[in-house]
Structure 1
Amino acid sequence: MKKPIILFVASIFLLFNKVYAQDKFTLEQCVSYALEHNLNIKQAKYTQAISEVNYSQSKLNLAPTVNANISQYNNFGRSVNQVTYAYSNNTTNNLNYGAGANWEIFGGLQRLNQLKQTKFTLMADQTYVEKIKQDVSLNVVNQFLLTMFGEEQVNNLTNQLKVSQEQLAIAKKKADVGTITEADYLQFKAQVANDETNLTSAQNQLEIASLELKQLLNLEPQQTFGIIRPSDAAMVEASKSAYEAVYVYNEALKINPSIKVAEYQSLASERAVSVAKGAFYPSLNLSANVGSYYSWNYYLPVDPANPNGPDYRPTFKDQYNTFLGKSINLSLNIPIFNGLQSRNSVKKAKISYENTKASEVLAKNQLNKTIAQSVADLKAAEKKYASAQISFESLKKAYEFSQKRFDVGLINSLDLNIAKTNYSKAESEALQAKYDMVFKSKVIDYYLGKPLTL
């Protein structure tokens, strides 16, 4: 009875996976899925989790430490009897136990500064997670657009191959009746082979783009995967925006995770200098201890008035009360000379701080440069797209005109194939220009903190 139930559940599970695997994703769904499953994001979160533990520990380091101890001593031969404090040659068995607490009242404010340092480190790691998320989102947009380009390119080349095959069939009939020469027929045949090669190359590029997108989403390469294309008109229209590099940079400076990470790292390094300087100050510690022990060799007379009478071993409680000891200690440690370790630690901390400050400046300079380049690239992409569209429309009409001239015998097959090749190339370039412009506009949206949608 169990076997049919197991098979039924397994079939439902496989059916669910199959349906899920065949789902098509919008760009927004791809980004959302990647943010949840991408391995780079998970690794960044693991680093953040470690920083959270370090921050929690640095807060607990401000509290006193309390420890208990227990040990058993078996002494053989001449040794000090812990009960009588006299030397004897007897075997003694003693159980020592106790507890102690220690609290650093003042230590050059090192622990407070370590707490602030770990806090800034945690903030840096939290911001780094956001940076990885944004980077992954932008990469998903890029691969999504490449997949869209690949699908459109494959579709266009498939249609071109179909037209070439139809022309080849017509050319075969014309060659058989002598309307066109054998050379003209071979030109059409060569064009079909060239179109097949271009289509195979485009299909391979589409497969690579799809695999890259699956990898970003942490999907299996074998999983069936499709995308939902947005409207081309809306996508192109949303990409045409006027941006000034100064405005984009000033906005990005407020929110860009890379800059925030560099700033938090600088603050953490600054606190590291304070931690190192704390070693120059005296440290004041308060400690308290309590302890007792139990001895198997400790005997007392049953009758205190008759010391020579029978002896007995006091109970654990009695020995605890008898040997109980307590202490409170206040200690002051004043550093005088430790091989210049403290001074050199401060020097290294200051160098690290200056290095992080330089890294912060470099990050801002790099951001400024990258944004200026991105804005210039977008403007160039918009112009290139407009030119590519004009070129495509013109060469498309030129090819259609050449086809009509070929049909009436005014040009040969070579001229027709040249016109077709030029038209095909212009179509591909217009397609590339469109997606290049869309992606470059998304890069600007990335720096402005806008949602990466199409």
Structure 2
Amino acid sequence: MIKLLLIFTLFQPGDTILTEEKAIELALENNFAIRLEKYNLEIAKNNNTVGNAGMLPTVGLNANGSKTIQDTELEFVNGDSQNRDGAKTTVYNAGASLGWTLFDGFRMFATKDRLEEISQLNEMAFKSQVQNAMSDVLKAFYNTALEQERLALLESTLKLSEERVAISKEKYEVGKASKLEYLQAQVDYNSDQSALVRQKEIIAIQKLQLLQLIGIQEGYDSFELSYTHEKSEYLTDLANIETEAIQQNPFLKQLKSQQEVSLLTIKENESDRLPTLDFNLGYNYSNLSAEAGFLQSNVSSGLTYGLTATMTLFDGLNRTRTIQNAKILSEQSYTAYEQGEAQLRTAVKSGILTLQNAQTLAALEEKNLAVAEENVTIALERYRVGKSNPIEIREAQNNAVDAQIRYIEALNTAKIAEIELLRLTGNLLKE
């Protein structure tokens, strides 16, 4: 069961125990995929404003000043003349303007709805990424746990082989066994040691991969996993799990949201066929002073306002093309949703089948495990008293190891299938 409570008991460098809750907490804080997707979500939320939709006016200020120096020779119609060298002309202008689109064929409203839907789409994408990251971390966690179980099993097998070596040595020294039997016991013991070394390497690599998924780079050299294989409370009703997945799967919701975005894009493009009406308001101030010319000084200020209506009558059929492409993209989004739903149903059915079979195998192997362990005990005692040979005890030992491996693999397969079903149904993250 993954019922996440963010209590922030984070895994610190030097800690020796890592639980699945701590692994998830660390991943939510440090996983790179989650952090990258969060940026997209923040951008989508920032874009979801009425101003970005074009509903608000634009206000601007402008000012400029210039000075010119000219030599002038002027003759007027009445016969007068004016000659000036280095005559200066100074001009100052300042103004404020406001532009507001009052009507644009309802495009601004469709744009605002589209921005809202894109924000929701990115929320679904973020939740989907969180669940995917959690699923990857938990699967890596339990796969590492499986290798940890294998290591414990090999350590137990090595102890049994060590005991067999001691028994065969004792029997050889008193003349009850041949040197060949003693050497064979040593060979089997060395073989078990090699398997143990290889398994330690496998676990080290698995732990590095787990830390990479969590988002931890260094400072965590040695730790053990603490875990259970308890069944999740969210998978008790397997009969209705497919319906639950269709209703709650974050990725499917993301595809549904994409459908809405494509429909609103069509509305935006269709609004371009209608006229637009803009309101304009401005205030201007001008100050001119000249040492030569007709005017020596001119100061003016005033308010201007008005409405501007525009309508494109023909644009080379580009608007029609844009609308057609938007409709094609809308049909594509519907097809993508149908594909996603079909894939989800198949994944859920496959996951249920895998889970049920793994649970059945685990129950069978658990019964077989007790028999195999008892068989090893009996074989070891028979070997101790000289009633069995090395082949018999080694076979019993191998059978016990195989039974234990099949059992822990069945448990791990069931757990991985459970994690996948929780991801598909959207129940992996429960706050």
What range describes the TM-score normalised by the shorter chain of this pair? Answer: 0.7 to 0.9
Which residue of the partner structure matches residue 64 of structure 1? 57
The residue aligned with 1:259 is 252
Asked whether 1:163 is paired with 2:160, we answer: yes
Partner SS for 2:48 = helix
Residues 258-267 or 92-101, more deviating = 92-101
The answer as to whether partners of 1:138 and 1:452 remain within 8 angstroms in 2 is no
Partner residue in 2 for 1:446: 423
| Bigger Cα displacement from structure 2, 20-29 vs 353-362 | 20-29
Which segment drifts farther, 272-281 or 141-150? 141-150
Matched, 1:200 2:193: no
Is the 1:284–1:332 Cα contact (8 Å) retained in structure 2? yes
RMSD: 3.1
Structure 2 partner of 1:22? 15
Change in Cα spacing, 1:396 to 1:32, as seen in structure 2 (3 Å) is: same
100, 104, 110: which one aligns with 2:101: 104
Partner of 1:211: 208
Equivalent residue for 2:362, pick from 376, 379, 385: 385
Which residue pairs with 1:129 in the alignment? 126
Of 125, 142, 145, which aligns to 2:139? 142
Q: Deviations over 1:402-452 (max 9, x none)?
A: 223323434321332222122112212211111221232233333444466
What's the CA shift string for 1:211-257, capped at 9, x where partnerless?
Answer: 23322332234314645624x5xx34668966435x11111222211
User: Unaligned regions of 5+ residues in structure 1, if any?
Assistant: 1-16, 80-87, 301-306
Separation in 1, partners of 2:248, 2:391: 58
Matches within 5 A, 1:29-40: 29-40=22-33
CA distance in 2, matches of 1:56, 1:190: 75
Matches within 5 A, 1:284-323: 284-297=277-290, 322-323=299-300
| CA distance 1:19–1:354, change in 2 (3 Å) | closer
> 1:147 and 1:334 mapped to 2: Cα distance?
66
Q: Does 2:275 correspond to 1:277?
A: no
Q: State the alpha-carbon separation in 2 of the partners of residues 363 and 244 from structure 1.
A: 21
Tell me how far apart the structure 2 counterparts of residues 31 and 357 of structure 1 sit (CA, whole Å): 34
Q: How many residues align?
A: 409
Cα distance in 2 between the residues matched to 1:264 and 1:452: 21
Question: What does 1:376-415 align with in structure 2 at a 5 Å threshold?
Answer: 376-415=353-392
1:347 paired to 2:324 = yes
Q: 2:348 aligns with which of 367, 371, 387?
A: 371
Counterpart of 2:6 in structure 1 is none
> What residue is the counterpart of 1:419 in the other structure?
396
8 A contact 1:187–1:417 mirrored in 2: no
Tell me if 1:431 matches 2:411: no
The residue aligned with 1:11 is none
Which AA in structure 2 matches 1:67?
G
**TM-score under structure 1 length normalisation:** 0.81
CA distance in 1, matches of 2:270, 2:409: 59
User: 2:131–2:428: 8 Å Cα contact kept in structure 1?
Assistant: no
In the TM superposition, residue 350 of structure 1 has moved relative to its aligned partner by 0.9
Q: Report the alpha carbon displacement of residue 372 of structure 1 after superposing the two structures with TM.
A: 0.6
Which structure has greater strand proportion?
A: 2
Shift in Å at residue 23 of structure 1? Answer: 5.9
Moved more, 139-148 or 272-281: 139-148
Partner residue, 1:174: 171
Alignment partner of 1:158: what SS?
helix
> Normalized against structure 2, the TM-score is what?
0.85
**Change in 2 beyond 3 A, CA 1:416/1:195:** same
Whole-Å Cα distance in 2 between the matches of residues 397 and 23 of structure 1? 34
Please list every run of 5 or more consecutive structure 2 residues that lacks an aligned counterpart in the other structure.
1-9, 73-83
* Matches of 1:104 and 1:238, distance apart in 2: 56
Cα 1:221–1:165 shift into 2, 3 Å: farther
Q: How much does 1:401 deviate?
A: 2.7
C-alpha contact (below 8 Å) 1:72/1:96 kept by paired residues: yes
Q: 1:52-97: CA deviations, max 9, x gaps? A: 1111265562111111112334557799xxxxxxxx9966442322
Residue 278 (structure 1) shift: 1.3
Counterparts of 1:427 and 1:405 in 2: how far apart (Å)?
22
* In structure 2, C-alpha distance between the alignment counterparts of 1:423 and 1:150, rounded to whole Å: 17
Secondary structure at the aligned position of 1:22 is classed as coil
The answer as to whether partners of 2:14 and 2:219 remain within 8 angstroms in 1 is: no
Name the CA shift for 1:238/1:70 in 2 (closer, same or farther; >3 Å).
Answer: closer
The match for 1:95 is 92
Q: 238, 243, 252: which one pairs with 1:244?
A: 238
Give the drift of 1:101. Answer: 1.0
SS of residue in 1 equivalent to 2:269: helix
Letter of the aligned partner of 2:211 in structure 1? K
**Percent identical residues:** 20
SS at match of 1:97: strand
Distance in 2 of aligned mates of 1:170 and 1:129: 61
CA separation of 1:48 and 1:451: change in aligned 2, threshold 3 A: closer
Q: Deviations over 1:175-221 (max 9, x none)?
A: 34443223322321221122122212322232233223322332234
Contact 2:275 2:312 in 1 (8 A): yes
Counterpart amino acid of 1:244?
L
Change in 2 beyond 3 A, CA 1:238/1:290: closer
- Aligned-partner Cα distance in 2 for 1:406–1:166: 11
Matched position secondary structure for 2:308? strand
Give the letter for the 1:192 counterpart: Y
Q: Does 1:357 align with 2:350?
A: no
> Which of the pair is proportionally richer in helix?
1
Task: Tell whether the 8 Å contact from 1:58 to 1:118 is kept in structure 2 after alignment.
Answer: no
